[in-house]
Structure 1
Amino acid sequence: MPRYEYRCRTCGDTFELNRPMAESGAPASCPTGHPDTVKLLSTVAVGGTARATAPAPAPGGGGCCGGGGCG
């Protein structure tokens, strides 16, 4: 079940709630009972490593002269 983070506009406390995605937009009261809260934008950390790859070679010359100077 997803975890959503909220901040109370009255007391400034930040808290989390586990709730289904279908209820992500439903109002949430802070733990001290204040009803004026806002859902915060959460960031997701994804673990793993990235492999560095060599850039693709530039395409060879083309045209009538194979990339050389026509003249």
Structure 2
Amino acid sequence: MPRYEFRCRACGDTFEVNRSMAAAGEPASCPQGHADTVKLLSAVAVTGRSGAPAPAGGGGCCGGACGC
């Protein structure tokens, strides 16, 4: 289930809520009981290893052709 991050405008706390994507736009009350909250835009970083080695021979800004 996706996790959404909210910030309370009344007390400034940031908190997370687990809910379905269908309910993503619904308001959330902060743990302190305040109702004036805003959903934050979260950046997702996905990392991992594919098992394939990195290509050899530069790369740089233009695939190694510029000599940088």
Q: TM-score of the superposition, structure 2-length normalised?
A: 0.72
SS in 1 for 2:30: coil
Q: Percent identity?
A: 66
How many corresponding residue pairs? 57
Give the C-alpha shift of residue 52 in structure 1. 4.1
Give the C-alpha shift of residue 5 in structure 1. 0.2
Task: Give distance in 2, aligned partners of 1:42 and 1:48.
Answer: 19
SS in 1 for 2:11: coil
Show the counterpart of 1:31: 31
SS in 1 for 2:35: coil
**Runs of 4+ in structure 1 over 6 Å off:** none
Task: Give distance in 2, aligned partners of 1:32 and 1:43.
Answer: 25
From 47, 54, 58, the equivalent of 1:51 is 54
Structure 1 regions of 5+ residues with no counterpart? 58-71
Q: Kindly provide the CA deviation profile for residues 9-65 of structure 1, in whole angstroms up to 9, marking residues without a partner as x.
A: 00000000000000000010000100000000001111035934764x8xxxxxxxx
Q: TM-score of the superposition, structure 1-length normalised?
A: 0.69
Structure of higher CA gyration radius: 1
Residue 8 (1) aligns with residue 11 (2): no
